[in-house]
Structure 1
């Protein structure tokens, strides 16, 4: 061995990023967050991110090699923030109710600060699965497990894993969904919303001593509905599934056509434009939601019974996969040219939920709650059922009422349903 070969090799430690580097990197992430929250993961481009900062795209590539890496950084930062908020809840004390309210309070205080520019905005989680990033997916699952510690159940009556999973999914989804309707709330009232949402999450909307109503689940499909093999119906189903999985921009003409194994020419033979098909998907979802409400109202009963029956019917319908409902959270990335009319339709549904809640308060079947907040939470629960099977695997559709819908009505701190 020569002297040169025996000489120890010196490995230089990686250079510590400078403050200027970190500042520019954080600015790029903030710009990307703003883009993703408007356009979704698939719609965000490095060019648009750069333009917000008066940079050229290569200026972004110096920090992130592609948009997937940049989007992953955005989600990792959001997960880190949520983990910290969950930590606030867990550190609030041994009492489960105190921990849950502390988590909700911390979340809305963060949203208040972000709205006032006192804290950085974070990316919404609507399109997190569209990124298809293993590190982000692993971090999100770890965050979910962390949040699950908030809902252990009472001593001696611990919640089974299936119930903890379903309730944790519901808890996180309600906070995620709040970004869709907080715009209608004055920033200074966010703390008020937190207290009212926390009370519903903990105790539900049933008054003490009121039992869960008995009812049959109404059938939401009709004989005149198009068959699953009909050409137009095939495109509706494919577009709905893709929007649910990957957001508005993820459901491109190419991807919809590929899912059906047809050409783009075949797509345009059956659809004028992609947006026409997207509008049809949203309109059908609204139509089915109204079917559930009308069917429950036609059968009559207390406000609670009508609301529970409609909610169970919609969640059951979504989980059976028959004429699937579109995730209403996908509205956040729909172009403004069609967004306004679609939001108005969903607002009408939420207003009806609020009206039914008011009926329940009046007849004593619903405890006095903020009906506007409760209505949005019911909409959020229905919206999140599109991903329930992912977080509560093995939960059959006929069991969704007991393990997923009732916990919102009876409170996340209520006991698990009896086995069998």
Structure 2
């Protein structure tokens, strides 16, 4: 009979430490997952450490053992989502061609969304609220996201020259924003229909929205004033820029009024709360975009010319104007009631674009694509264009617009 070999000294302690570390990491991940769901549901302002604790059946002290402050937990939430997005990009990068890489990246996003509906996948956090984070976390998280965009840009190979590089930047930005925005509309489809929806979505990415040889209309319109009161117009302009740049949480009444050179008291003379301000900004953006559509309908005979003039005019506002449209993609940062209003306005705009797309197909100027998905694609691109104002500073407006229109019109792999 063989002798039993005694354990090494300290082995029992090592096993306990490993098991303890595993339990620690597992509980920490549970907290991050619960916080992600609450962040997506309530926004950054509405998510609290006590809410997270309640969701998990824990005491608040149990949560603060892992994350002392809410900001630390939010940082962990965003880092977790950015890490999973980076893993998707890495998996897609292994494919052999640009089309195969994009197709795989799209497939991974659709599979993940279907998994969240089945509750077999952890949801991704809405990243729009990163702008509202305090420093240094804000800059670190933004740089991580930019790293993901650079990796997506590499799907298409190296840039041949400066002009080609601009197109690649537009491709990466439009692709990723369209995939992140899809969470607002993809849930309207049955899980079993996801593969078909994905194919229709990829068809737009692959060939764009216009038929070969169709030119974008040269007309660009400027929306009329939102109000006859110049003071109020200027106030909405400043507030919109702050919300776009820093998110709901970062756009404090104090900062907005300081930029506007007014006291906080004068703000509350016109509005009851910050939520009322956000609603006013949403309505102003919706009216301005609707005004662009109205002007295009009045002056353009064909559906494609109406749509192309509207899209170009909206893009110019986002790239160059001091009074941009409020970013619909930042909707998650808003309180639930304001968020619902923002989504309702966004879908009204999308419905109008759908009509123009269908008529454009009948004219032969627009490709045979799913008009609902194409409208969402255009809407995401318009609103997300604001994020590229930094890119725009080193280039002429014409160069930026041409790069963006090339991707929207011809797709991710079309003529440059």
1:108 paired residue number? 110
Name the SS for the 2:185 alignment partner.
Answer: helix
Q: Deviations over 1:39-78 (max 9, x none)?
A: 3334432222222222233222211122222111111111
2:361 paired residue number? 361
State how far apart, in whole Å, the 2-side matches of 1:25 and 1:401 are.
Answer: 45
Correspondent of 2:25 among 22, 25, 29:
22
* More off after superposition, 317-326 vs 366-375: 317-326
2:7 paired residue number? none
Superposed displacement of residue 158, structure 1: 9.6
* More off after superposition, 325-334 vs 240-249: 240-249
Is 1:118 the counterpart of 2:120? The answer is yes
Superposed displacement of residue 85, structure 1: 1.4
State how far apart, in whole Å, the 1-side matches of 2:226 and 2:109 are.
Answer: 45
Structure 2: runs of 5+ lacking an equivalent: 1-13
* More off after superposition, 131-140 vs 19-28: 131-140
2:316 paired residue number? 316
1:235 paired residue number? 235
* More off after superposition, 303-312 vs 398-407: 398-407
1:63 paired residue number? 66
1:170 paired residue number? 174
2:378 paired residue number? 378
Q: Deviations over 1:348-406 (max 9, x none)?
A: 11101001000011111111000000000110011101111235552333333211133
State how far apart, in whole Å, the 1-side matches of 2:40 and 2:319 are.
Answer: 27
Q: Do 2:290 and 2:349's aligned partners in 1 also have CA atoms closer than 8 Å? A: yes
Correspondent of 1:54 among 30, 54, 57:
57
State how far apart, in whole Å, the 2-side matches of 1:278 and 1:355 are.
Answer: 29
State how far apart, in whole Å, the 1-side matches of 2:296 and 2:311 are.
Answer: 9
Q: Do 1:105 and 1:195's aligned partners in 2 also have CA atoms closer than 8 Å? A: no
2:129 paired residue number? 127
TM-score (norm 2): 0.88
What root-mean-square deviation, in Å, do the aligned CA atoms of Structure 1 and Structure 2 show? 2.4
TM-score (norm 1): 0.87
* More off after superposition, 334-343 vs 119-128: 334-343
Correspondent of 2:144 among 120, 124, 139:
139
Residues 128 and 188 of structure 1, relative CA distance in 2, 3 Å threshold: farther
1:184 paired residue number? 188
State how far apart, in whole Å, the 1-side matches of 2:282 and 2:273 are.
Answer: 15
Q: Do 1:148 and 1:168's aligned partners in 2 also have CA atoms closer than 8 Å? A: yes
Structure 1: runs of 5+ lacking an equivalent: 1-12
In the TM superposition, structure 1's runs of 4+ consecutive aligned residues that sit over 4 Å from their partners are 156-159, 222-226
State how far apart, in whole Å, the 2-side matches of 1:216 and 1:79 are.
Answer: 39
Correspondent of 1:149 among 146, 154, 164:
154
State how far apart, in whole Å, the 2-side matches of 1:73 and 1:124 are.
Answer: 13
1:331 paired residue number? 331
2:79 paired residue number? 76
State how far apart, in whole Å, the 2-side matches of 1:287 and 1:38 are.
Answer: 27
Is 1:97 the counterpart of 2:102? The answer is no
Superposed displacement of residue 243, structure 1: 2.0
1:10 paired residue number? none
Superposed displacement of residue 196, structure 1: 1.4
The structure with the greater share of residues assigned to helix is 2
Report the count of equivalent residues: 397
Residues 143 and 293 of structure 1, relative CA distance in 2, 3 Å threshold: same
1:33 paired residue number? 36
Correspondent of 1:198 among 195, 202, 220:
202
Q: Deviations over 1:124-172 (max 9, x none)?
A: 1111222242332332222121111112379x79963222122211111
Q: Do 1:157 and 1:415's aligned partners in 2 also have CA atoms closer than 8 Å? A: no
Name the SS for the 1:126 alignment partner.
Answer: helix
Q: Deviations over 1:235-279 (max 9, x none)?
A: 322321232123333334344334445433221012232222211
Superposed displacement of residue 296, structure 1: 1.6
* More off after superposition, 109-118 vs 267-276: 267-276
Name the SS for the 1:212 alignment partner.
Answer: coil
Q: Do 1:311 and 1:405's aligned partners in 2 also have CA atoms closer than 8 Å? A: no
1:388 paired residue number? 388
1:6 paired residue number? none
State how far apart, in whole Å, the 2-side matches of 1:223 and 1:81 are.
Answer: 41
